[in-house]
Structure 1
Amino acid sequence: MSEKPVPAAPGAPAGAPPAARIDAALLRVAFILVLGTFMATIDATIVSVGIDTLAGEFGASVAQIQWISTAYLLAVVAAVPASGWLAGRFGGRRVWLAAIGVFLLGSVLCALAWSANSLIVFRVVQGLGGGLLPATGQALLARVAGPGRTGRVISVVAVVPLLSPVLGPLAGGSLLAVAPWQWLFLVNLPIGAVAVLLARRYVPVVPPAPGRTAFDLRGAALLSPGLAVLVYGLTEVAHGRTLPAALGITAGVAMLVGFTVHGLRTRGTPLVDPRLFTRPPFGAAALALVVLGASVFGTMFLLPLYFQTGRGLTAWEAGLLLAPQGLGAAAGSVLVNRTIDKVAPRNLVVTGIGLILLGTVPFTQLGSQPGDVTLVAALAVRGAGMAMVGAPVMNIVYSRIEPAQLPRAAGALNMLNTVGGSVGTAALAVILQNRLTARGPDVPQAFADTFWWVLGFCLLAAAGATRLPRTQPGN
């Protein structure tokens, strides 16, 4: 099939930016690329619902079976930093299609697993593909859209990662009710096949970055394993294993420090340039995304656990109670789409964080057993707030950076959001375990204590958001 170049505005000279209108062709590209992100992000939460089923199927202990989730997470964290170089070297569409292929291969292997250990290994394969999809898809979409349309189109697709943790438990519970456990993984195949067929036909080819940049092998050996080892150490803290936790955290921090020193000193192009974080508005945007990831993904770890252990609900019932957060996120994305080119980015982000704070407050009062209506309303407010943060932050960065640097910037932002979510979840698990020990049988109050930390994360994100630009890109 012939390759299609990125289209310019009708009648515009070569190299002109695309028109500001969001046309059907761009929406079609956005829909196709978001299928990959949806498939990768929802997979983690679908599988989490089936952990007990998988433990029984393979006769595995809780300590062993939790690695089905942890291995996927670590593989995602390890893969994200390389996404920028891969897209710059081989082209965004080619890397995105390859990532879909790796993810689908991992899904088939997971469905064929014969033991817990084999499933854990195959989850790593799946995670390597899944880690590349969001960053590569976002960078590719930003290149196709151009600076004038990036904000609005990103506001549409950014809602998918917010919906996935809500839809995942419902989808997983529904699948297990009517099909064997293998369909937790096989469900990816039709989605991925449709995404590949549509992408080959409709997604334009974005040329690789000019010039061939050598792969930062030393940086990759320090950054990706360093992040994975750090997250591993934090998960070991959550499970109360002191020695592996101490070794993992120490080694992870040391490797990340080594990467930073290497990135500042190297004469080549580092895998992720540490200097990027000192350039406004990237530094403030990075802080907002890290802390937002910790708050959002940490909360999505806490809430299903609270509904099931604190209130005795099933996974399906817990998923239904979480659904209003997804509805709020959808409503928030519509609002952002209509205002992102008219309202100062900082105002949108600060308002969004304020809504997340407001929606978190009722969960700090779980000890007094607030009613379901209160919690449902709080989740809807949180969802709307989350939608008002991610898209404007990404638009700020993508609209102010050179097109050739988009893959690396997208990789860095997704890495920070993933790491923030991973570290935040692990940290909140440690805090929750501590509060459960301290509170004894008062489980709701232990969760309430933990949500005060979520409020603290939000306040820190708000502090970073105040440094974002007051004006629109180009003003």
Structure 2
Amino acid sequence: MIAALRGAGNASDPASGRRVSAKVAVCVVFVAANFMAIMDTTIVNVALPALGRDFGMDGSELSSVNVGYLVAMAVFIPVSGWLSSRFGTRRTALTALLLFTVASGLCATAGSLAALTGYRVLQGVGGGLLAPVGMTMMLRAFPVAERLRAQKYVMVPTAVAPALGPVLGGWLVDTASWHWVFLVNLPAGALALLFGLRTLPDFPGTGAPRFDALGFVLAGGGLAAVLYALTRGPDRGWGSGQILVPLVGGAVLLALTAVWELHTRHPMIDLRIVEDQLFRTTQLALLPMGAAFMGVLYLYPQFLQTGLGYDALRSGLATFPEALGMLTASQLVERLHDRVGPRRLMVGGGAGAAVIVLYLATAASGAPPVTLYPSMYLLGCSVGLLFASGQNAAFVTVPASRTADATTVLNMQRQIAAAFGVALAGTLAGAGTGSGAAGDYRAGLLTMAGVSLCACLFALRVSDRRVHEGYRADATQTARGESVPMRRAADP
């Protein structure tokens, strides 16, 4: 399929290809594609009861719909860098977008749980490729000095999609049917694909070496097993053999992956990228913050529904202020970055998140509900400060030729962090009284506050000096005309 797009650039209208700048084209396609991929991790949740009625299944059996999607994403994240180097970023991105869109249409036609799970796996393959290759294109299209401006757009799917999923999904299921939670992807996917075919530039790879089959098996199998265990652990119990075996086995496979990739001549994932001190320290802060944020987003709607009596749609709307807060933070970071420095912004964001989640934990014991809306907004602002500053700083000193490796590693840790946060939150909440009272979620929220504080402490190690040195080095390269090779959609 990727090879079929090899000549797609020649099919574009040269005039139209030059009317849209490379930066705009990359932004539009990446934001649209990433928005759909992220939203699909949450929009389907509210459709599960309707799916159960149609297929005659209970909740435990329906979990394969989401687990299949998440596991497929995890398996194919590691291979995205190799595909980009082998076929170029443009063909890889467009193929992943096409696969995701077609699979969405197939999901809507599914007549059985087995068929729906299979189509969701196809969706996960496309989604797993989209995020890393899209981020690689963004980093290579924008010089270091302009990336904070681009962050305003990159943050849109990260901020809005998880919160919009339950709201949109609930509305679609109530007013139409569960099929529409998948059909909604078709017009967006088709438009993004057509736009990308005509305008998306290509960043040719350096020529991928032989495919690292063993690395793919180890990394993909390890990620899939660990993610499966983390996703199902809270429901089935951590002492169950169905959870312990994949959890331990997956951890062993990931350890073997690290050993193999560090010693093989042509690694699929060049883990030596973590030798970059700035990249490594920012990842150490982003990982716990991602876990805490997803853990809170998992617990908070349940607290609203079981503790305060909200319905699904109202709890989704009450969660949405965090998206507005993250968007606000993406605007603030660009203005404050040079004056305050990324380290202080990240530390402030982590500390603010810890304090707010701590307040939410006390809210589970009786704080006024009216205070929850501004609390979620401020939580979004705090998390957004750390995410936007950290993601920008992570790639400042990463050479353009290694952005694919860096984005692959970042997206792998993001998947594991999200799964770990939800698993930890779900386990702690389930260990409560089980009465459905709001206090059942207090332990989970207190723990998420502690995890947020860990992100704050790791952020203290981020070096503002290295960030500014990276900016100066990039400015020097730009002045010398040492830009990243790029082909427009209309170029041969």
Give the letter for the 1:262 counterpart.
W
User: C-alpha displacement at 1:397, in angstroms?
Assistant: 2.4
2:248 corresponds in structure 1 to 250
* Alignment equivalent of 1:232, drawn from 210, 228, 241: 228
1:69 corresponds in structure 2 to 66
CA RMSD of aligned residues (A): 1.9
* Alignment equivalent of 2:89, drawn from 73, 84, 92: 92
Give the letter for the 1:47 counterpart.
V
Alignment of structure 1 residues 317-356 onto 2, 5 Å = 317-356=314-353
Give the letter for the 2:218 counterpart.
L
Cα shift readout 1:247-271 (whole Å, capped 9, x = no counterpart): 1111111111111111222122x22
Q: Is the 8 A contact 1:93 1:206 kept in 2?
A: yes
**Distance in 1 separating the partners of 2:22 and 2:272:** 36
* Alignment equivalent of 1:221, drawn from 217, 220, 225: 217
Say if 2:298 is the partner of 1:301: yes
Q: Is the 8 A contact 1:295 1:458 kept in 2?
A: yes
* Alignment equivalent of 2:114, drawn from 117, 132, 141: 117
**Distance in 1 separating the partners of 2:23 and 2:335:** 17
User: C-alpha displacement at 1:3, in angstroms?
Assistant: 8.6
* Alignment equivalent of 1:428, drawn from 425, 429, 443: 425
1:315 corresponds in structure 2 to 312
**Distance in 2 separating the partners of 1:416 and 1:25:** 29
Q: Is the 8 A contact 1:30 1:141 kept in 2?
A: yes
**Distance in 1 separating the partners of 2:202 and 2:11:** 6
SS in 1 for 2:79: helix
Q: Gapped runs of 5+ residues in structure 2?
A: 1-8, 13-19, 473-492
* Alignment equivalent of 1:157, drawn from 154, 157, 162: 154
**Distance in 2 separating the partners of 1:215 and 1:464:** 35
**Distance in 1 separating the partners of 2:97 and 2:246:** 31
Equivalent residues, number: 452
1:265 corresponds in structure 2 to 263
User: C-alpha displacement at 1:341, in angstroms?
Assistant: 4.7
TM-score by length of structure 2 reads: 0.88
Q: Is the 8 A contact 1:290 1:420 kept in 2?
A: yes
Q: Is the 8 A contact 1:352 1:386 kept in 2?
A: yes
SS in 1 for 2:210: coil
User: C-alpha displacement at 1:343, in angstroms?
Assistant: 3.7
User: C-alpha displacement at 1:27, in angstroms?
Assistant: 3.9
SS in 2 for 1:213: coil
1:47 corresponds in structure 2 to 44
User: C-alpha displacement at 1:380, in angstroms?
Assistant: 0.5
Q: Is the 8 A contact 1:358 1:378 kept in 2?
A: no
Give the letter for the 2:29 counterpart.
I
Cα shift readout 1:10-61 (whole Å, capped 9, x = no counterpart): xxxxxxxxxxxxx976345313320000011111211111111111111111
Cα shift readout 1:355-375 (whole Å, capped 9, x = no counterpart): 211221221113422222211
Q: Is the 8 A contact 2:283 2:394 kept in 1?
A: no
* Alignment equivalent of 1:206, drawn from 197, 203, 207: 203
Q: Is the 8 A contact 2:72 2:128 kept in 1?
A: yes
Q: Is the 8 A contact 1:84 1:409 kept in 2?
A: no
1:469 corresponds in structure 2 to 463
2:137 corresponds in structure 1 to 140
**Distance in 1 separating the partners of 2:357 and 2:24:** 33
Structure 2 vs 1, CA of residues 387 and 3 (structure 1 numbering), >3 Å: closer, same or farther? farther
* Alignment equivalent of 2:401, drawn from 393, 404, 411: 404
Q: Is the 8 A contact 2:44 2:181 kept in 1?
A: yes
Q: Is the 8 A contact 2:276 2:397 kept in 1?
A: no
* Alignment equivalent of 1:416, drawn from 413, 433, 443: 413
Give the letter for the 1:452 counterpart.
L
User: C-alpha displacement at 1:403, in angstroms?
Assistant: 0.8
1:456 corresponds in structure 2 to 450
Alignment of structure 1 residues 373-388 onto 2, 5 Å = 373-388=370-385
* Alignment equivalent of 1:363, drawn from 344, 360, 363: 360
Q: Gapped runs of 5+ residues in structure 1?
A: 5-22
* Alignment equivalent of 2:181, drawn from 164, 184, 191: 184
